[in-house]
Amino acid sequence: MALTEDTKVQIARRIAAELQDDWVVNVGTGMPTAVLKCVPDERDIIFHSENGIVGMGPEPTDPAQIDTDLQSAGKRPVTLMPGGCFVHHRDSFAIARGGMLDAAILGGYQVAENGDLANWKLPGAKLGSIGGAMDICVGAKRVFIMMTHTTPDGKPKIVRSLNYPLTASRCVTKIFTELAVIAVTAAGLVLETLAPGVSLETVQKLTEPKLILGKGLGLPG
């Protein structure tokens, strides 16, 4: 299903609340870029883009400020935070592969209950490139997935096992959707929070694996 901008912001705020000062965080293309606007200025978080930006900021709000030479990995205009820099593509991937990413925020097509991720190609699609997602998923200490809970035709995207092309195995830490926040643990999928007005029954109906109830439930507005 398609999300409204308000709902995207709500999910992005929840992810932003998960981030800690002094973290280096990779931000993937698409929906995850909404998180950049939701981090308060006083927070000390360094955002990384795989094409070679360390200290990436959100998209410019003023079209006159757009610099066509300053783009994210998704080819969207972005800004550079104070102290930010550009690095060689090789060095950017040394950060990802070298375990220097405290977290990565990525989109997803499917997540399995064991943490397997599919996010680069739909079954039957002629186009698709895994890009740097595999390296980032394996190298990051935490992988946060921001996605819709179901496909456009209402099928669960959180599944028992993947039937989409694999990006990386057992890499996902938490899943953030418009309905809930779900942690991937050795014991199974733990339902940490529910979005306002969403019932446990609804989330379970739209999630293939059985969910384990966490202690606190509720998404901040």
Residue 73 has pLDDT above 60, yes or no: yes
Query: What's the pTM?
Result: 0.94
From the list 50, 113, 178, 192, the catalytic residue is 50
Confidence band of 126 (pLDDT split at 50, 70, 90): confident
Looking at the chain, the whole-number percentage of residues with pLDDT higher than 90 is: 88
Is the pLDDT assigned to residue 221 strictly greater than 70?
Answer: no
Tell me what the mean pLDDT of segment 118-143 comes to.
Answer: 88
What topology is assigned to 5-178 in CATH?
Glutaconate Coenzyme A-transferase (3.40.1080)
Over range 176-203, report the average pLDDT: 96
- pLDDT confidence of 123, banded at 50, 70, 90? confident
Q: How far apart are the first and last CA of the chain?
A: 20
- What is the residue-averaged pLDDT of the chain? 93
**pLDDT given at position 216:** 64
Tell me if residue 113 is catalytic: no
Q: What is the pLDDT of residue 215?
A: 80
Q: What is the pLDDT of residue 208?
A: 98
pLDDT (average), residues 151-168: 96
Query: What is the model's pLDDT at position 35?
Result: 97
- pLDDT the model gives residue 129: 75
pLDDT beyond 70 at 1: no
Least confident of 42-46, 52-56, 119-123, 124-128: 124-128
pLDDT of 219 > 70? The answer is: no
Distances in Å between the alpha carbon of 176 and those of 70, 155, 181? 28, 17, 5
Across the range 59-83, mean pLDDT stands at 93
